[in-house]
A and B are shown apart, each in its own frame.
Chain A
Amino acid sequence: MEGFEWLRKLRSSMGKSKASEPDSTWPEWYQRYFRATPNKPADEVPLEELPIVIIDAETTGLDVKKDRLLSIGALRALGNSLQIADHFEGYLPTPPDQQDARAVHIHGIIPGSRRYDYLEEEELMEGLLEFIGERTIVGHHIGFDVEMINRALERLGAGPLRNRVIDTADLAKRIQPSGYWSPPEKYSLDTLARRYRIPLSDRHTALGDAYITGVLWLKLKGRLLEKVGRDLVLGDL
């Protein structure tokens, strides 16, 4: 039956995307998350009422295949406010084969440092999915973070994130489209934070970046509101 392996895979993936039933092979915590996220919010949902979670992940590098998550920070937002008390933060130990100095100077997480209470990857994912729930995910160049999280989920035998995702970099481009001359780093978090007057003191801790992204999100949303000239709905993004 070896030749039909691809067909089984295809079927199961098609089935999965349509099914509202969780796969019993998934870890129990992912099944819970799956049940909690039956459908994505519709385009008509007013942005003011949309529960948001802002996520930032620190990784050992930028290669989604090779590199690993080091920490994740997340904050919840609703309307025009961020609740500081309502946050998620988790650290993973640096994998032994990733302990080179490459990323250390960026995120400042020293492999095996005792400064953090480390979690197992599974604990981290379980906590994260519970924190995210059915909220819409906002992040900066969030595609990368989502991909890193999805790969971690896959390693744990779970399905991918099912939430709607908004990229603040895309939003910034819409508000201030780049000319053909503008360099790509124009939309980096650092550049944008500077442009929107957000102090950068805690850059490169996951929660610190999530906070900066959160403030950026509030500000960009305000600019978009001005541009669109009426109350924003999810479809505007």
Chain B
Amino acid sequence: MPNQVSRRIYDFLKDLPPFSFVKEEGALLQVAGRVEVQYQPIGSIIFRPGEPPRERFFLVKEGAVELFAVNEGEERLIERFGEGEVFGIRPLLAEDEYLFLARSAEETLLYAINTEGFRELLPNYPELSSYLATLMAGSTRSALQVKARQAPALIEKENLGGPDLLDLQTIHRAREPISCQASDRIITAAKLMSEHNIGSIIIVDKKERPVGIITDRDLRQKVATGIKSNQELVVEIMQSPVICIPPSITVADVQIEMMRHKINHVVQTEDGTDKTPLTGVISKHDLLVKQGNNPAILIREIARSQSATELRVLRERAERLLSLYLSREVSISFITTVMTQINDEIIRKCIKLSLARMQADGRGNPPALFDWLALGSQGRGEQLLRTDQDNALIFEDVPEARYPAVKDYFLQLSSYATEFLNDVGFAYCPGDMMASNPNWCLSVSKWQSQFSHWMHVNTPESMLHTSIFFDFRGVWGDGSLPAKLTAHIFSNLEKPSQRFLSSLALAALDNPSPLTFFRNFVVERSGEHKDQFDLKARAMRPLTDAARVLMLEARQGSVNNTFRRYELMAKLEPQNAELYQAAAEAYEVLIRLRATMGLRRNDSGRYLKPSELSRMQRLLLRNSFGPVKETQSLLETRFQLNFLR
């Protein structure tokens, strides 16, 4: 008979996964009645890696438990569990040893749940089993991620070969067919497949005509299970006939063939029938890649497009590409490079469309050399989502008499260009930091005095403008005009400029990073985003601001990208290399998180609710706060900011 205590424990369990999947009250009451309540003072070890599994798993009733991967005596935090979360489920599903070290991070009360009596419930509730399997897969994956983070160089290489668009194209090129003879044994085919690292092999006759196909799945289902011996002939397990296509066929046609036959591979032959020799093979995966999810093709299509509407569609395709990259954990340096090139190409196209419109208006060709300056995140080459546009226009110095007319031409051009950009999906800047604003459409020398002003008059407004305009990047011209601006800034810095740099550094300290993220999630106290976290202001901006001032101090003008700035700083200051490297990695995590959330919610991804983040995202985000804080302290010391505040 259930007593009050097991009833009390039952009440706690019944709403929490995985227990919530047990729909039968009696069964769960029995589980509750066999719980062992464990008290763990702070710092107690609950289990260690390599320990044999115990006949129980754990639920945090109160407090917190941390899971660490232990590698050569070094502990790396993997997960942190709070009230109502389950851990140590390995003994429930596998007779494996524990992989991690579990230690209480606070005074903790655990419910140790007997696996016996619970395991028996698994077959009755498929949801329960699949939840537990996912939970365990998650923790194993996080172990891999932790390992991966330890070897960043390796990842860079594996991530589709670095930031070269052509490389990506080659990788996704449809592959040469690998084939074997019908008289070959299964083992030969399997060896060929693993040798070429492919998922399928075509069986051909003596005249190279396709007769069948063997895929990974056939090997798994028919050979690995022991139904067929690997010494038997390939014809024993191959699927036949194969679906053949001619060499010239559209992607859509291939897709239709695959759908119609419910298959994942089609074979290309000389004439599209199985009566002619094999020439290629296309898998469903190859097809997905071909479906416009190729940045080089996308960029080409942008260049060819004729209207903002077309550009908008292409930019939406770029967003799908982005989402694909994010889901495949492609490196941020690659993603930002691709997306920046796409965005730049869109900007250039919008300018071209605007120039055409100027022609149509009868205003002719540009009266002077000019460049379009991308500002803010696009200037830094970090813009992944379509956020508000920030841009400016610079033109070469012209005689005073011509100035008004020249400026008027470029203002009109800019107003067309910003309109096109708005149509593509880059909304007008609410602060009007756009080339169409007369203040931000200037000649080289007028821009130079504007920058001098910002550097010498340290008002909050100057600081705001500095944070946006100093990350300018020319996307239209040959780079000579922005270079003049850069040279001017550095010559200004030659004069005593400590006050300017200090004010910039001080601005980077405006938003102290949150210390932690767990349970007491730091939220904005002001306004509508009370229960949310401002990712941009609290974590990203301090890093971009700090990187900018460090680059200015180091007189480095060529690098705009925040994480590349930190990578460069790491080279310039080896004594701080570790911190800069951590800051670069943290920034990549933040960009990735913001883009992922933004895509999911179809917004800027700026504000985050703790509840929408996965455990791993929360952990990574929390881990990024450390470098933010350390970078801020570095600025504080370097620019002696404690005296200024």
A residues apposed to B, CB below 8 Å: 75, 80-85, 87, 89, 197, 199, 201-202, 205, 207-208, 210-211, 214-215, 218-219, 221-222, 225-226
Which of B3-11, B333-341, B357-365, B635-643 is near enough to bind chain A?
Answer: B3-11
Would you list 24 pairs from A and B whose C-beta atoms are within 8 A, ordered by A residue? A80-B40, A81-B37, A81-B112, A82-B36, A82-B37, A82-B38, A83-B36, A84-B6, A85-B33, A85-B34, A197-B62, A201-B8, A201-B11, A202-B8, A207-B5, A208-B4, A214-B37, A215-B37, A219-B39, A219-B107, A221-B39, A222-B41, A222-B107, A225-B41
Residue of A83, A87, A214, A222 near B3 (CB, 8 A) is A87
Which residues of the partner chain B approach A221 to less than 8 Å between Cβ atoms? 39
Chain A, residue nearest B36 (CB): A81
B67 interfacial by beta-carbon distance below 8 Å: no
Known: A197-B62, A207-B3, A218-B39. A84 touches B109 (CB 8 A): no
- How many angstroms between the C-alpha atoms of A134 and B3 in the bound complex? 25
- Contact call A84/B41, Cβ cutoff below 8 A: no
B155 interfacial by beta-carbon distance below 8 Å: no
- How many angstroms between the C-alpha atoms of A34 and B297 in the bound complex? 90
Nearest chain A CB to B504's CB is how many angstroms away? 46
Which residues of the partner chain A approach B109 to less than 8 Å between Cβ atoms? 215, 218-219
B136 interfacial by beta-carbon distance below 8 Å: no
- Contact call A84/B33, Cβ cutoff below 8 A: yes
Nearest chain A CB to B211's CB is how many angstroms away? 65
Nearest chain B CB to A108's CB is how many angstroms away? 11
Which residues of the partner chain A approach B33 to less than 8 Å between Cβ atoms? 84-85
Known: A83-B36, A87-B3; 17 extra A-B contacts, CB below 8 A, are: A80-B40, A80-B44, A81-B37, A81-B112, A84-B9, A84-B33, A84-B37, A201-B8, A202-B7, A207-B3, A208-B4, A208-B8, A218-B39, A218-B109, A219-B109, A225-B41, A226-B41
Beta-carbon contacts under 8 Å, B11-55 to A: 11, 32-41, 44
Which residues of the partner chain A approach B41 to less than 8 Å between Cβ atoms? 222, 225-226
- How many angstroms between the C-alpha atoms of A199 and B7 in the bound complex? 14
Chain A, residue nearest B32 (CB): A84
- How many angstroms between the C-alpha atoms of A205 and B7 in the bound complex? 13
Which residues of the partner chain B approach A80 to less than 8 Å between Cβ atoms? 38-40, 44
Which residues of the partner chain B approach A210 to less than 8 Å between Cβ atoms? 5
- Contact call B39/A84, Cβ cutoff below 8 A: no
Q: How many residues of B are counted as interface, with CB atoms below 8 angstroms from the partner's CB atoms?
A: 23
Which residues of the partner chain B approach A81 to less than 8 Å between Cβ atoms? 36-39, 112
Chain B, residue nearest A217 (CB): B39
Which residues of the partner chain B approach A85 to less than 8 Å between Cβ atoms? 33-34
Residue of B4, B36, B62, B112 near A205 (CB, 8 A) is B4
What 7 A-B pairs are tightest by C-beta distance, nearest first? A218-B39, A82-B37, A222-B41, A202-B4, A208-B4, A81-B38, A211-B5
- How many angstroms between the C-alpha atoms of A202 and B32 in the bound complex? 16
Nearest chain A CB to B634's CB is how many angstroms away? 36
B residues apposed to A, CB below 8 Å: 3-9, 11, 32-41, 44, 62, 107, 109, 112
- How many angstroms between the C-alpha atoms of A207 and B8 in the bound complex? 11
- Contact call A222/B8, Cβ cutoff below 8 A: no
Pick from B4, B6, B41, B44 the residue with the most CB of A within 10 Å. B4
- How many angstroms between the C-alpha atoms of A57 and B203 in the bound complex? 81
Chain A, residue nearest B110 (CB): A81
Residue of A201, A202, A207, A215 near B39 (CB, 8 A) is A215
Which residues of the partner chain B approach A218 to less than 8 Å between Cβ atoms? 37, 39, 109
Chain A, residue nearest B111 (CB): A84
Nearest chain A CB to B180's CB is how many angstroms away? 61
Known: A201-B8, A211-B8, A215-B109. A89 touches B39 (CB 8 A): no
User: How many A-B pairs with Cβ below 8 Å?
Assistant: 63
- How many angstroms between the C-alpha atoms of A225 and B40 in the bound complex? 12
Residue of B5, B11, B36, B107 near A208 (CB, 8 A) is B5
Nearest chain B CB to A90's CB is how many angstroms away? 11
Which residues of the partner chain B approach A197 to less than 8 Å between Cβ atoms? 62
- How many angstroms between the C-alpha atoms of A80 and B500 in the bound complex? 60
- Contact call A84/B4, Cβ cutoff below 8 A: no
- How many angstroms between the C-alpha atoms of A205 and B107 in the bound complex? 27
Chain B, residue nearest A117 (CB): B1
Which residues of the partner chain B approach A215 to less than 8 Å between Cβ atoms? 37, 39, 109
- Contact call B34/A84, Cβ cutoff below 8 A: yes
- How many angstroms between the C-alpha atoms of A30 and B642 in the bound complex? 76
Which residues of the partner chain A approach B9 to less than 8 Å between Cβ atoms? 84
Which residues of the partner chain A approach B44 to less than 8 Å between Cβ atoms? 80
- How many angstroms between the C-alpha atoms of A54 and B107 in the bound complex? 21
Residue of A84, A219, A222, A225 near B5 (CB, 8 A) is A84
Which residues of the partner chain A approach B112 to less than 8 Å between Cβ atoms? 81
- How many angstroms between the C-alpha atoms of A83 and B107 in the bound complex? 19
Which residues of the partner chain A approach B8 to less than 8 Å between Cβ atoms? 199, 201-202, 208, 211
Which residues of the partner chain B approach A225 to less than 8 Å between Cβ atoms? 41
Chain B, residue nearest A86 (CB): B36
- How many angstroms between the C-alpha atoms of A77 and B5 in the bound complex? 14
Which residues of the partner chain A approach B6 to less than 8 Å between Cβ atoms? 84
Chain A, residue nearest B40 (CB): A80
Which residues of the partner chain B approach A201 to less than 8 Å between Cβ atoms? 8, 11
Known: A85-B34, A215-B109. A75 touches B39 (CB 8 A): no
Which residues of the partner chain A approach B39 to less than 8 Å between Cβ atoms? 80-81, 215, 218-219, 221-222
- Contact call A84/B107, Cβ cutoff below 8 A: no
Nearest chain A CB to B228's CB is how many angstroms away? 51
- How many angstroms between the C-alpha atoms of A84 and B59 in the bound complex? 15
Which residues of the partner chain A approach B4 to less than 8 Å between Cβ atoms? 202, 205, 207-208, 211
Pick from A218, A221, A225 the residue with the most CB of B within 10 Å. A218
- How many angstroms between the C-alpha atoms of A91 and B27 in the bound complex? 26
Nearest chain B CB to A23's CB is how many angstroms away? 35
Which residues of the partner chain B approach A89 to less than 8 Å between Cβ atoms? 3
Which residues of the partner chain A approach B34 to less than 8 Å between Cβ atoms? 84-85
- How many angstroms between the C-alpha atoms of A89 and B35 in the bound complex? 17
- How many angstroms between the C-alpha atoms of A219 and B106 in the bound complex? 12
Which residues of the partner chain B approach A214 to less than 8 Å between Cβ atoms? 37
- How many angstroms between the C-alpha atoms of A84 and B6 in the bound complex? 7
Which residues of the partner chain A approach B107 to less than 8 Å between Cβ atoms? 219, 222
- How many angstroms between the C-alpha atoms of A82 and B37 in the bound complex? 5
Pick from B3, B5, B41 the residue with the most CB of A within 10 Å. B5
- How many angstroms between the C-alpha atoms of A204 and B36 in the bound complex? 22
- How many angstroms between the C-alpha atoms of A205 and B32 in the bound complex? 18
Which residues of the partner chain A approach B7 to less than 8 Å between Cβ atoms? 202
- How many angstroms between the C-alpha atoms of A83 and B32 in the bound complex? 11
Chain A, residue nearest B34 (CB): A85
Nearest chain B CB to A41's CB is how many angstroms away? 21
Nearest chain B CB to A221's CB is how many angstroms away? 8
Residue of B11, B35, B40, B62 near A84 (CB, 8 A) is B35
Which residues of the partner chain A approach B32 to less than 8 Å between Cβ atoms? 84
Which residues of the partner chain B approach A82 to less than 8 Å between Cβ atoms? 36-38
Nearest chain B CB to A89's CB is how many angstroms away? 6
- How many angstroms between the C-alpha atoms of A207 and B2 in the bound complex? 12
Chain A, residue nearest B39 (CB): A218
Nearest chain B CB to A212's CB is how many angstroms away? 9
Nearest chain B CB to A204's CB is how many angstroms away? 10
- How many angstroms between the C-alpha atoms of A89 and B34 in the bound complex? 16
- How many angstroms between the C-alpha atoms of A18 and B109 in the bound complex? 42
- How many angstroms between the C-alpha atoms of A210 and B6 in the bound complex? 13
- Contact call A202/B40, Cβ cutoff below 8 A: no
Which residues of the partner chain B approach A207 to less than 8 Å between Cβ atoms? 3-5
Pick from A81, A84, A225 the residue with the most CB of B within 10 Å. A84
- How many angstroms between the C-alpha atoms of A171 and B354 in the bound complex? 82
- How many angstroms between the C-alpha atoms of A80 and B3 in the bound complex? 22
- How many angstroms between the C-alpha atoms of A211 and B7 in the bound complex? 12
Pick from B8, B37, B40, B112 the residue with the most CB of A within 10 Å. B37
Chain B, residue nearest A80 (CB): B39
Chain B, residue nearest A89 (CB): B3
- How many angstroms between the C-alpha atoms of A137 and B34 in the bound complex? 22
Nearest chain A CB to B440's CB is how many angstroms away? 57
- How many angstroms between the C-alpha atoms of A218 and B7 in the bound complex? 21
